Every structure is written in C-alpha cells, then in structure tokens.
C-alpha cells in the first residue's frame, strides 16, 4: 500500500505527463503548473481539448485543485473483453492506458486526492478520488471546476438543462461560443478539425448530474445540477466523482457505437440471470388519443375487462408483455396536481390486480406494472418496499415508473430530477426493484450513465422527447439526432410503433415504415409497440410482422451510415438466431442509400424488406409502403429508398446451410 504521509516533504514543482491510447492516436497531457492542475487532449497530434483546469470550489473551505504537488503517479495498462447479458452488443472491448496521479496540497490543510485518467482509442475519461483524511471527512461542493476547453467554433448539438420538461426537448445546433445556457450531456459536437466528440459522464452515483456551460473564460465547464440549498453535492469521504467522459470519433456514425460509458461502470455484484429484455404493448396510447382515460370512469383504460382483452391481444400479436397504466388510486381529477397522495398498492375500483396477474400468467404474458409518482418522491419512497413487493407477490417482473412535473419533491423541498438527491432516489428504486427481481423502464429519469452494467435490471429509460410529443412537437429530424446524442447514454423507450398516423388528435410526423425502423434505430431493453392492438390487427398485420420478428437483445451492432440530425442507418445481429436486422431513418429529405451487405456471413440469406413507397411522404401519404422478399448474399448490396420523414426495416434470415 502506498503511504501518503511519508511523502509529505516533497517540494512543489511543475509536472507534465502524457498518457497515450493503446493505438497511439489519442494523447492526454496532464500538467501541474504553479500548483494548478490542468489537462489537454490531442488526437493525431491535433488539439481537441486545449488547456483545461480541474478542481472544485468547496463550501466554507479553500478551493481544491490549486497549490498542489505531485506525490506519485502510477501508470497501468488494461485490456479486457466485457460480456454483457443484454444490450446492443454481447461483447465490448475495455482497453486503455491509465495513469493515477496522487496529489497533495503544499500548505495547510494539506489535503490529498487522486486524479485518475484513462485514455482509450475512442475516449478520454478521468475522475477525482478523494480519500478520507485528517480534518476533512465531509465536504460540500460549491462548484466543480472541470473545464473542457473545446474550440469555440465547434458545432454543438444540444438540449437545454434546468427547463420544465427536464430532458424532453428538440435538439438544436449552434457554435460553442453561442452557448447561452447550460445544456445536458451527452453533448455531441463537431470540431473544426473534423472530429466528432461527445462530453458525458459515467457511473453517476451520490452526486449531482453534470450539465455543461460556457464559463467566463470562454471555456466549456461542468455545471453540476444544484440542490435547493444552493450546493452541488454533500459528500462523505472517501468519494469518487462520476467519470468525466470525452468520446472521440472520426465520423458521426462511428460515435454512435462508443461503449466507453459502459466500460467505466463496474460489473454486477449480484446474480441478475433473471433479467430478460421484453417487447410489450400497453394500455397507453388509447389515453393519448382520448379513447381511454387514466382516471376511473366510463372510459377508464386500466379496468380488469380491458386488461384481459389486451392480454388476449398480446397473445394473438405474439408480443410477450403488457403495460397497464392508470390501474392505481390517484388519477382522479387533475392527476398532475393531485398526485401527492398516489397509492402504489391500492387499485382503482374496477381493477383487480390479482385477477389480471393470474390471467396474464395463464396466458404467458408478462405484466409491466406502472408507478406514476408525479415527482412526489417523498410519497413514493414511503411506499417503495410495499409497492415493489406487492408487484413481486403477484408475479410481476417489470415496472415502468414516471416522474412527470418540472421538479421532484424530496424532503419537503422541490429539487431538480438531476440533482444529487434525485440521483440517490432513482438509485434506490433500481436497488429495491432488484431485490424484488423487477426490471425497470424509467420515464422522466435521470440521464443514463451506464449503471445498467452494474444494475442490469435497469432495462430502459425514456429521458428524451418521445412519441408522446407527436401531434405537432416532433419533426422528422428529431429521431435522426437521437442516435448521435441521447442514445450515447444508453437505450431509450421511445414508444415505437404508432401505426394510426393520421389520427386527428395526434397526427404523427413519420411514415408507417419508419415506425418499425425505430425498433432497430432506437435500442431499448424494454421495447414498446405502443399503438392499440386493434389498429395493428385490423389494418397493418403485414407491417406488424416486423415488430414480431425483431429481437430486443443483440449480438452486435454495426453503424452503417448517417449524419447528425439528417439520417441514420444501422445493422444489428440477433443474439441467438444469427438473423440480422437493418433499420434507417431520414429527416424531411427523401434519400436513396446503398447498403453493402458485407457484414453478413457466407451463404444465402432471405431478405424481408419494408420500405416507403416512391410516393410516400410523412405529411400526406404516410402509409405508402412496399414489402419485398429476395435472396441475397454478402457480396451484394441493396438500394433502399427513404421518403421524406420516412425509414425502412430489413430482416435477413440465414438459410439453414449458412451456419451463421
């Protein structure tokens, strides 16, 4: 064990150390100049992050990160293949060169801390590690001063932070110097020297979530979501901050499969072999188009009768799960206002959970339970154990949660969802759910930071503007931004598969084919086919077939083509069958793309191709589609058309002899 105290006699001196990525392209230089810590990142000898300072302002203490001397540094090389139980890839590579820097202040209070840097071929990550020490066991962070000094002319693709709809905004682009307000991460950008970066964080626990602002030195800087008391976080030592993560790629499309966030999280510490990904329908969209209500009454959606009808429909449709929203006590009147007393164990008068659960079990359908907290975390936490064991007792293995409202109520105070207290609450739900062998799909969540590697029961989140905003507030470019931005933070429940596109209440701004493309372009460990079953059964079973066929767990993912906010094409191989699925989406611009099938194994595949018809258009001809079948092999390519606001989906089945 390294002994700090023995080295306290060291003199302060300037330091410059370089950590190089395994392939040699990325270099992170760490500097100590006049006792101030900073770093810089270059790729192929071109600067991507210029001199950036590190440190904290603390409440009632002198700032942290100045007046330092380097005590010791420890380099390390790491190479590992990580196996994931579910997700976009079965195996991911965790290879980096690390350097841990042990610093001490030269003057009283002579605090000590470690800065750990990891340099990957496609990312740079670092975190602060603060051990317990004399006179300093707790601290309150007034400000984290981590800078990311990115070229001011870089173009950023951003959504605003600290706004009433949390994370649910449309993406906009601007240059870094034009950033007026704090923005959420992953903050994706294109630098003037042609690289694509995304600033994000990994392993967010017990700390406020990082947003990014332009500081008064014109550098991007961490802006940690504050608590209502004005601090950013209260820490007990030892404490490790979340990883600060800079993803790096040569192209936008390459960025989309950056898995460093997962690599920076720990493996699971308990058995999660019970976790299974799921496709589900729901008593849900009927409420959005006014056919049903969440609240009890004549048109109550979540009645025992409707639940059984939907279970029967799920069986007919070949979908294994059913979400039931509005089953519990608390939806009467203005549910957004009244949710303070919601019960998570008491059902509405016309809903019998035991009966529905028994019926689902006999039909081999998984129920997805629902907890809408309306942000009243105090009320929810009081019931947490009872609520999850109630579902567990009834054989329910999946729960969707929700935190509607601009802020959450914790300890009687309004806090940001993304604050330290919010982060701790969401973590508690994941752990209580895990104890009850329940998987989660969190709506209005905190952003993903890869903790599903440690807690695989966290199968999905919303955490972006989803299809509930359709009917005017989503343009076709939105889903062309997501793969390059929000989806770098993990899977998303976008509530795919709305087929009733020209509904007068909610006109959808996509073509029909694009709705099935989403099952490939937007990964989710819990994937919803969100429309009402009768819409599928009465009108579109030919297209619905793709939703039946597409899996929710993939062996590998290969991004094929795309540009941020314009289009995205991706191929994914199913875990067990060797089948491949390809999906693509485009913005308002129709597009013809050529897909080389060289990702296939040898042999012949049957391609089932669902495309927009030549005259399709998301506004006035969204249903125009063509389904073709043909045999293909890896030496061939497919010429695919995407209409304005459209998309496509392809299933490729290996013939028996392929051995694929």
List of residues contacting ligand NOJ (CB under 6 A): 325, 372, 402, 404, 443, 462, 468
**Closest CA relative to residue 438, chosen from 276, 289, 225, 580:** 276
The listed partner (Ca ion, ligand NOJ, none) that binds 325, CB under 5 to 8 Å by sort, is ligand NOJ
Q: Closest distance between Ca ion and the C-beta of residue 404, in Å?
A: 7
The listed partner (Ca ion, ligand NOJ, none) that binds 549, CB under 5 to 8 Å by sort, is none
Q: Please identify, using beta-carbon distances, which residue of 334 and 538 lies nearer to ligand NOJ.
A: 334
Which range, of 249-257, 442-450, 493-501, 527-535, touches Ca ion by CB under 5 A? Answer: 442-450
CA 109, 112, 113, 114 torsion: positive or negative? positive
Q: Please identify, using beta-carbon distances, which residue of 67 and 296 lies nearer to ligand NOJ.
A: 296
Q: Please identify, using beta-carbon distances, which residue of 468 and 608 lies nearer to ligand NOJ.
A: 468
Q: Closest distance between ligand NOJ and the C-beta of residue 613, in Å?
A: 31
To 5 degrees, how large is the angle CA 443–CA 176–CA 559?
A: 55
Q: Give the integer Cα–Cα distance in Å for 307 and 518.
A: 26
| Footprint (CB under 5 A) of Ca ion, residues 275-314 | none
Whether 209 and 223 have beta carbons less than 8 Å apart is answered as no
| Helix 304-317 / helix 353-362 crossing angle, nearest 10 deg | 20
Which residues have CB under 8 Å from 432's CB, separation 6+? Answer: 384, 385, 388
Q: Please identify, using beta-carbon distances, which residue of 40 and 461 lies nearer to ligand NOJ.
A: 461
Residue bearing tokens 């390459």: 254
Q: Please identify, using beta-carbon distances, which residue of 88 and 468 lies nearer to ligand NOJ.
A: 468
The listed partner (ligand NOJ, Ca ion, none) that binds 372, CB under 5 to 8 Å by sort, is ligand NOJ
Which residues have CB under 8 Å from 254's CB, separation 6+? Answer: 122, 196, 559
**Closest CA relative to residue 491, chosen from 471, 519, 514, 468:** 519
Q: Closest distance between ligand NOJ and the C-beta of residue 284, in Å?
A: 6
Q: Give the integer Cα–Cα distance in Å for 59 and 36.
A: 20
Which range, of 126-134, 352-360, 460-468, 531-539, touches Ca ion by CB under 5 A? Answer: 460-468
Report helix, strand and coil shares of the chain as percent, to nearest 5. 20, 40, 45
Q: Closest distance between Ca ion and the C-beta of residue 168, in Å?
A: 6
Whether 412 and 228 have beta carbons less than 8 Å apart is answered as no
Q: Closest distance between ligand NOJ and the C-beta of residue 579, in Å?
A: 30
Of 147, 168, 366, 468, the active-site residue reads 468
- Give the Å distances, CA to CA, from 209 to 32, 255, 511: 27, 22, 36
| Footprint (CB under 5 A) of Ca ion, residues 407-436 | none
Which range, of 276-284, 405-413, 439-447, 645-653, touches Ca ion by CB under 5 A? Answer: 439-447
Whether 176 and 197 have beta carbons less than 8 Å apart is answered as no
Q: Please identify, using beta-carbon distances, which residue of 367 and 600 lies nearer to ligand NOJ.
A: 367
Q: Please identify, using beta-carbon distances, which residue of 116 and 461 lies nearer to ligand NOJ.
A: 461
Whether 52 and 29 have beta carbons less than 8 Å apart is answered as no
Residue bearing tokens 């009465």: 538
Beta bridge partner(s), residue 464 = none
Which range, of 149-157, 205-213, 353-361, 455-463, touches Ca ion by CB under 5 A? Answer: 455-463
- 468 catalytic? Reply is yes
Containing 105, the helix (H) or strand (E) segment is strand 91-105
Q: Closest distance between ligand NOJ and the C-beta of residue 461, in Å?
A: 10
Q: Closest distance between ligand NOJ and the C-beta of residue 636, in Å?
A: 41
Please work out the total of residues on this chain that contact Ca ion, with binding judged by CB under 5 A. Answer: 2
Q: Which residues bind Ca ion (CB under 5 A)?
A: 443, 462
Active site amino acids: 468
């Amino acid at each position: 064990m390294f002994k700090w105290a023995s080295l306290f006699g060291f003199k302060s001196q300037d330091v410059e150390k370089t950590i190089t990525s395994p392939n040699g392209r990325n270099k992170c230089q760490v500097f100590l100049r006049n006792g101030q810590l900073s770093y810089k990142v270059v790729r192929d000898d071109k600067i991507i992050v210029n001199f950036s300072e590190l440190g904290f302002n603390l409440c009632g203490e002198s700032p942290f990160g100045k007046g330092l001397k380097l005590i010791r540094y420890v380099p390390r090389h790491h190479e590992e293949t990580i196996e994931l139980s579910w997700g976009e890839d079965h195996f991911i590579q965790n290879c980096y060169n690390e350097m841990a820097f042990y610093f001490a202040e030269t003057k009283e209070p002579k605090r000590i801390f470690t800065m750990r840097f990891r340099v990957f071929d496609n990312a740079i990550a670092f975190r602060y590690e603060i051990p317990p020490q004399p006179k300093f066991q707790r601290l309150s962070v007034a400000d984290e001063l981590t800078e990311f000094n990115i070229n001011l002319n870089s173009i950023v693709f951003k959504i605003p932070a600290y706004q009433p709809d949390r994370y649910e905004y449309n993406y906009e682009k601007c240059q870094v110097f034009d950033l007026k307000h704090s923005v959420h991460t992953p903050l994706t950008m294109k630098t003037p020297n042609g690289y694509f970066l995304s600033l994000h964080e990994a392993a967010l626990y017990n700390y406020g979530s990082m947003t990014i602002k332009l500081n008064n030195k014109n550098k991007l800087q961490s802006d940690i979501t504050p608590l209502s008391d004005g601090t950013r976080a209260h820490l007990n030592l030892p404490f490790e901050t979340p990883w600060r993560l800079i993803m790096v790629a040569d192209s936008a499309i390459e960025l989309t499969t950056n898995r460093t966030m997962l690599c920076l999280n720990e493996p699971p510490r308990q058995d999660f072999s019970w976790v299974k990904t799921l496709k589900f329908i729901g008593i849900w969209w009927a409420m959005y188009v006014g056919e049903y209500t969440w609240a009890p009454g004549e048109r109550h959606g979540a009645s025992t009768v409707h639940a059984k009808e939907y279970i029967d429909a799920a069986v007919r449709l070949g979908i294994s799960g059913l979400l039931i929203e509005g089953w519990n006590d608390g939806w009467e009147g203005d549910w957004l206002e009244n949710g303070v007393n919601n019960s998570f164990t008491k059902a509405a008068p016309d809903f019998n959970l035991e009966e529905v659960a028994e019926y689902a079990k006999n039909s081999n359908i998984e129920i997805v339970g629902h907890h809408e907290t309306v942000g009243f975390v105090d009320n929810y936490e009081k019931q947490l154990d009872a609520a999850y064991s109630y579902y567990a007792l009834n054989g329910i293995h999946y729960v969707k949660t929700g935190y509607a409202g601009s802020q959450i109520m914790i300890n009687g105070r309004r806090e940001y969802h993304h604050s330290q207290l919010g982060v701790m609450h969401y973590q508690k739900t994941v752990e209580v759910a895990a104890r009850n062998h329940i998987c989660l799909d969190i709506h209005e969540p905190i952003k993903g930071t890869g903790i599903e590697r440690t807690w695989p029961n966290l199968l999905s989140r919303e955490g972006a503007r989803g299809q509930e905003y359709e009917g005017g507030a989503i343009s076709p470019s939105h889903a062309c931004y997501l793969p390059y931005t929000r989806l770098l933070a993990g899977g998303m429940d976008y509530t795919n598969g709305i087929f009733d596109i020209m509904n007068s209440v909610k006109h959808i701004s996509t073509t029909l084919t694009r709705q099935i493309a989403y099952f490939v372009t937007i990964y989710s460990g819990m994937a919803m086919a969100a429309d009402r079953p009768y819409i599928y059964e009465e009108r579109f079973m030919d297209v619905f077939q793709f939703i039946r066929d597409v899996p929710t767990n993939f062996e590998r993912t290969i991004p094929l083509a795309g540009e941020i906010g314009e289009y995205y094409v991706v191929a994914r191989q199913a875990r067990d069958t060797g089948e491949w699925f390809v999906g693509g989406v485009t913005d308002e611009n129709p597009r013809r793309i050529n897909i080389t099938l060289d990702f296939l194994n040898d042999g012949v595949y049957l391609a089932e191709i669902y495309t927009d018809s030549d005259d399709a258009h998301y506004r006035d001809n969204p249903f125009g589609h063509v389904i073709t079948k043909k045999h293909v092999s890896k030496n061939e390519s497919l010429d695919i058309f995407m209409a304005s606001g459209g998309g496509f989906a392809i299933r490729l089945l290996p013939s028996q002899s392929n051995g694929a």
